[in-house]
Amino acid sequence: MAGHGTTHVDAGSLWGGKVSPFSASYGKLMMWFFLVSDALTFGGLLVAYGYTRHTTDSAWPIGEETFDSLPFLGHGYPLMYVALMTFILIVSSVTMVLAVEAGHRMDKKGVIKWMIATIIGGFFFLGSQAWEWSHFIHGSHFGSVELNDGSRAIVKGHFGEFESLTVVESGKEFKEGKTISPAGKGHYKMDAEEMFHHFRHAAMNGHVHDNQFTLHDGSVVKWKRHADEHLTLLVKTDGTGKALEKVTKIEGKKAEEAYWGAVNSGKKGRIIYGADLSSNEYGPSQYGQFFFFITGFHGFHVFSGVIINILIFFGVLRGTYHRRGHYEMVEKTGLYWHFVDLVWVFVFTFFYLV
Amino acid sequence: MERDDIIEYSLDTHHSEEQGKKVRRKIWLVTAILTVITAFEVGVGMTIHQDSPYWWIVKLIFIALTLLKAGYIVLVFMHLGDERKVLKYFILVPYALFIIYLIFIALTEALAINSIWETYGG
């Protein structure tokens, strides 16, 4: 690009404190300094993640096993969703740099066009991250399971949907002998997901026995479900929480007995669904904590980046920068926006790939 | 108070329509490179698993590709490659030195603690 570092100055200006040794304006320089300090924060977080991962003797989750779902399509698409998120962020970085380029030509219309695209891209990324968090927190239909010998396995396969629940013991709301199903009437009408939701709650708290579980009103129901398909248990840690040398695979009848045996044990904690700050179905608790903190901190940066972009966008619309004679404000917010993309490149590698 | 004797560096980055075309071509080229690298990473991540004996090579390739992507973003998208060399190295070198040191010390410590837990239980 033209101009950088080529400005000729006379001795008077050179020694009179009017020259920047970097040939860059004050604002741009300060933005770079801020980005270096922010990069240190993210660098520190990712190194802390690496530190924890290397100290633990428990089985660390694997990216393509943990993140294998797409909206509307279910599971079985390893890494596709994060790839999409990465692509969205790269594209919005490109539209930002195109806005900066248009600014260098004093092309106001071009700046407006590309900044709108960047802001939309930012919102898309935030929406994707919201879905990803929601999915991570709610977890799979199976959760993870503690087997009879105390070892823990993650569960893969297709969960057989609930067809109906027959009330075997009356509670406050549901009366004995009645059936809860998608075809039911009043509060006896429930779709498969809603029935699963009640089941999940009971299984998590150890309120399941003999293929029956307790609903929130105290009634006990017996379930009827479709069969699970391709149920596979991947045993990762032994009874003491240590990682096994080799992951053991349990499939077919054995997997069914082990999994549903644990569900029906009536013990709290045998099945863990999704993630919160104290435990998660994917691996050690620190994994979930780092996931929430690092992707959350990055998401917060994306959010503030979108807000700053919107503010600068209004400045562009009002012609503030055009009158000033240069669009350096767009360049500076662009630096911040690219930095957010840069951080994601590293988060993507260290959280999802390796 | 506005000073008019200060050199307006913000104008240095202005360029003409023809130069703009060149700049845009470079931007789209880098976009294509970043997209291909990401697609390649996802493809490899899906096909080669972590229990494979070649995983350490894959891991090194991932890290190298990540640094390559980061380089393109910083030098082209953030225009650090177009700034004066002194600014470029002023930003990159201290950060790189510190973070390499931090990674080295943290991973050394982590592996030492891990081996202690392995030996004495934790």
Nearest by Cα to B97 from A163, A43, A233, A265: A43
What is the mean predicted confidence (pLDDT) over A293-308?
A: 97
Instruction: Quote the CA–CA distance of A64 and B43 in Å, as a whole number.
Output: 11
- When the pLDDT of each residue in chain A is averaged and rounded to a whole number, the result is 90
Which has more confidence, A239 or A49?
A: A49
What is the mean predicted confidence (pLDDT) over A289-305?
A: 96
By Cβ distance, the residue of B46, B70, B78 closest to A64 is B46
H-helix or E-strand spanning residue B113: helix B85-120
Interface A–B counts its CB contacts (< 8 A) at 196
3-state secondary structure of A177: coil
Residue A2 has pLDDT above 60, yes or no: no
What integer pLDDT is reported at residue B47 of this predicted model? 86
What integer pLDDT is reported at residue A239 of this predicted model? 82
pTM of the predicted protein model = 0.89
User: Going by C-beta distance under 8 Å and a sequence separation of 6 or more, which residues neighbour residue A99?
Assistant: A110, A111, A113, A114, A115, A118, A330, A334
H-helix or E-strand spanning residue A271: strand A271-272
Q: Residue A216's CB: how many other CB atoms inside 10 A?
A: 12
Tokens of A151: 């070892």
Instruction: Quote the CA–CA distance of A69 and A136 in Å, as a whole number.
Output: 10
Q: What is the DSSP string of A126-154?
A: HHHHHHHHHHHHH--SS-EEE-TTS-EEE
What integer pLDDT is reported at residue B5 of this predicted model? 60
Residue A122 has pLDDT above 90, yes or no: yes
Supply the ipTM of this predicted assembly.
0.91
Give the model's confidence band at A98: pLDDT under 50 very low, under 70 low, under 90 confident, else very high. very high
Residue A209 has pLDDT above 50, yes or no: yes
Give the model's confidence band at B118: pLDDT under 50 very low, under 70 low, under 90 confident, else very high. confident
What is the mean predicted confidence (pLDDT) over A288-309?
A: 96
Which residues of A are less than 8 Å from B78 in CB distance?
A: 334-335, 338-339, 342
By Cβ distance, the residue of B7, B13, B63 closest to A104 is B13
Which residues of B are less than 8 Å from A338 in CB distance?
A: 73-74, 77-78
Nearest by Cα to A351 from A38, A46, A41: A46
What is the mean predicted confidence (pLDDT) over B57-75?
A: 95
Distance from CA of B108 to the nearest CA of A (A): 9
- CA-based radius of gyration for chain A: 27
A17 reaches B (C-beta below 8 A): no
What is the mean predicted confidence (pLDDT) over A41-57?
A: 94
CB-CB under 8 Å, B95 with A22: no
Handedness of CA B102, A343, B28, A111 (dihedral sign): negative
Which residues of B are less than 8 Å from A342 in CB distance?
A: 70, 73-74, 78
What integer pLDDT is reported at residue A8 of this predicted model? 67
Q: Which residues pair with A209 in a beta bridge?
A: A212
Best mutation target among B59, B87, B89, B119 (most A Cβ atoms within 10 Å) is B87
Residue B23 has pLDDT above 60, yes or no: yes
